Homo-oligomer: A and B are copies of this chain.
Amino acid sequence: VSDATERTRWWGWGAEEGRPRLGPAGAALVARELALDGGSDARAPAPPALGSVNLPESALPLEAARRLEARLGPGGVRTDRLARVARAAGKSYPDLVRLRSGEAPAAPDAVLVPTSPEGVASILEVCSELGVAVVPFGGGTSVVGGVTPRREGFAAAVSLDLGGLSGKVEVDRRSLTARVGPGTLGAVAEAELGAHGLTLGHFPQSYELATVGGFVATRSAGQASTGYGRIEDRVLGLTCATPSGELSVAPVPASAAGPSLRELVVGSEGILGVITGLTLAVEPAPEVRHYEGWSFRSFAEGVEALRVLTQAGAAPEVARLSDEEETRLSKGLAATGSSADLAGRAYLSLRGHAAGALAILGWEGESRVAARRRSRAARMLRAAGGLALGGGPGRSWARNRYAAPYLRDELMDMGALVDTLETATSWSGLLALHAGVSTAVRAALAGRGATPVVGCHVSHLYGSGASLYFTMLARAEPGREIEQWSAAKQAAGEAIVAHRATITHHHGVGCDHRRWMEAEVGPLGLEMLRSAKARLDPGGVMNPGKILPVSGEPGS
């Protein structure tokens, strides 16, 4: 299924059929909030036509093409327009801005489709020798520029599509482990595991379109990470093809045999090599999934409640607490004007929660165990000021849990800038980080004349702290969308670094967070990453321009 990417919108998100929509009332609300010109009446621009995309000629050297074809066989080397345009970028806001305007200057010179780890090794060998940049490509859902080809001095760049490494999931039921091809889509792996009564428990927003190898290469954390852990908590063994040979980590439950090489490959985003095999820890599929809503009088009150819950070992599998602004907007979008809806508002208002913060908590597992955990948590949440809203908000969240990137397309159609960014810090630092980043992003956008909406939620809980996930919305500046976005992104990154939080909790580094890597890991930390890359990829062909700062950036 190397063409999964091509069955979805190359200039946006997902398939054309059955897309989640804002609806007219929702669109009107957003238009009003952001003071969009034309509001909900504005006609969406026509999608760009593939044929008219500004696509450079393929610069793949003839010798490379010849040798790669010999190794990969017919169909292994594609230079057709759709293949190249569909892998010209990931799915970040600036990626989509460029693609929508019909520009694909970074498109790979070819798309390579190996069907085995040996095929991957061949590609790395040929490309290293001939100086062709190699961009590993899973589902292509990076929102940080992680799959955008960058030549960095090389004559050509190819995308190495991992769709061919997606065979059947092999399960060891007794050990609760599964061998998964790295090119397997998250949703496909989950369906196969489901047939064995198992789950990976990994549900990032990109779940339908991203690959399991991509999860590992980017240190992904799913929506249920509070319960099931991050992807690195699930990786037992792996193989990674590099220009210097194969790095192999045996799947043992734990080891004290020196530094962790597994943790060097996890999160390496293709700059060291290509993940060609994975053995993951899986879990019994839950008997029940119960998602419910809770309201708090304020974000601060809700954060405190989640902290207490987590530190008592009473956290749910899914935990998501919106701040007041995000709560206000999501209530507005969900409002139907029905009498039940109005009664609900009156109830919240009466209890002092009119401008409160909404939490979604999800309990999964054995039915009786989940029920007992849920009732213990309910006592603690009530004691912390929480108001139970029942299963309605939970079901609504679950229905829409993968919808946001579809809606982004619609918002962009309406002339909106829409982006998300995320970070994590200690419980002690969380509220100050929330205020700092919110204020910085609002100021950056307002300073350029927009009326921004900046909302945030906590969505991954740890004993020592939590993540913050920000969504920013504003009227886009036509023709200057990228500059506008850059100003907001820069302000956010500076605020994050000033608060000593991490520059990314689960999106990864890619191109967009490179400039803060020196602040993140220090000069010597950067040197360590450079030296690991130099050892495995002496020619520097592996996904150049990712993670490590490039010329002119701090730490370069």
Q: Could you list which residues of chain A lie within 8 angstroms of chain B, going by C-beta atoms? A: 172, 174-177, 218-221, 230, 232, 236, 242, 244-269, 272, 281, 283-284, 307, 311-313, 365-366, 369, 372, 376, 424-429, 460, 462-467, 500-509, 513, 517, 520-525, 527-529, 531-532, 534-536, 547
Contacts and interface: CB of A to CB of B under 8 A. Distances in A.
Contacts of A259: 263-268, 272, 529, 532
Nearest to A218: B256
Contact of A251 (B248, B426, B466, B504): B426
Contact of A532 (B247, B252, B311, B532): B532
A174 B427 contact: yes
Given A247-B522, A372-B372, A426-B177, A460 B313 contact: no
Given A247-B525, A259-B264, A313-B366, 20 more contacts: A230-B254, A242-B524, A248-B522, A250-B520, A252-B426, A254-B460, A254-B505, A255-B502, A256-B505, A256-B508, A257-B521, A258-B521, A258-B547, A259-B263, A259-B272, A259-B532, A369-B376, A527-B535, A531-B531, A531-B532
Contacts of A509: 256-258
A428 B174 CA distance: 6
30 contacts: A172-B428, A174-B427, A175-B465, A176-B311, A220-B256, A221-B254, A230-B254, A232-B260, A247-B522, A248-B522, A248-B524, A250-B500, A252-B425, A252-B502, A253-B462, A254-B462, A255-B502, A256-B502, A256-B508, A257-B504, A258-B268, A258-B269, A258-B547, A259-B264, A261-B525, A262-B263, A283-B463, A284-B312, A528-B535, A531-B535
A525 B255 CA distance: 15
Contact of A219 (B256, B307, B426): B256
Contact of A281 (B260, B281, B463): B463
Q: Please give the count of copies of this chain that the complex contains.
A: 2
Given A174-B307, A236-B464, A521 B252 contact: no
A389 B488 CA distance: 64
B250 A502 contact: yes
Contacts of A175: 426-429, 464-465
A545 to B, nearest CB: 14
Contacts of A462: 253-254, 281
Q: 4 tightest CB-CB pairs across the interface, nearest first?
A: A263-B263, A253-B465, A253-B462, A219-B256
A147 B252 CA distance: 26
Nearest to A460: B254
Contacts of A284: 311-312
Contacts of A500: 250
Contacts of A369: 313, 376
B253 A466 contact: yes
Contacts of A283: 311, 463
B464 A177 contact: yes
A495 to B, nearest CB: 15
B529 A258 contact: yes
B264 A260 contact: yes
A457 to B, nearest CB: 16
A180 to B, nearest CB: 14
Given A219-B255, A256-B504, A281-B463, A249 B528 contact: no
B257 A513 contact: yes
A264 B267 contact: no
A126 B103 CA distance: 57
Contact of A506 (B256, B260, B467, B507): B256
B246 A524 contact: yes
Given A252-B502, A284-B311, A258 B428 contact: no
A536 B266 CA distance: 21
Nearest to A281: B464
A267 B307 CA distance: 30
A269 B502 CA distance: 27
Nearest to A264: B259
B256 A517 contact: no
B528 A247 contact: yes
A463 B462 CA distance: 20
Contacts of A220: 256
Contacts of A428: 172, 174-175
Contacts of A372: 372
Contacts of A250: 500, 502, 520
A504 B255 CA distance: 6
A95 to B, nearest CB: 18
Contacts of A311: 176, 283-284
A264 B501 CA distance: 21
Contact of A253 (B249, B464, B524): B464
A528 B249 CA distance: 12
A254 to B, nearest CB: 6
Contacts of A376: 369
Nearest to A269: B258
A502 B257 contact: yes
A313 B365 contact: yes
Interface centre among A307, A503, A525 (most CB of B within 10 A): A525
A255 B508 CA distance: 8
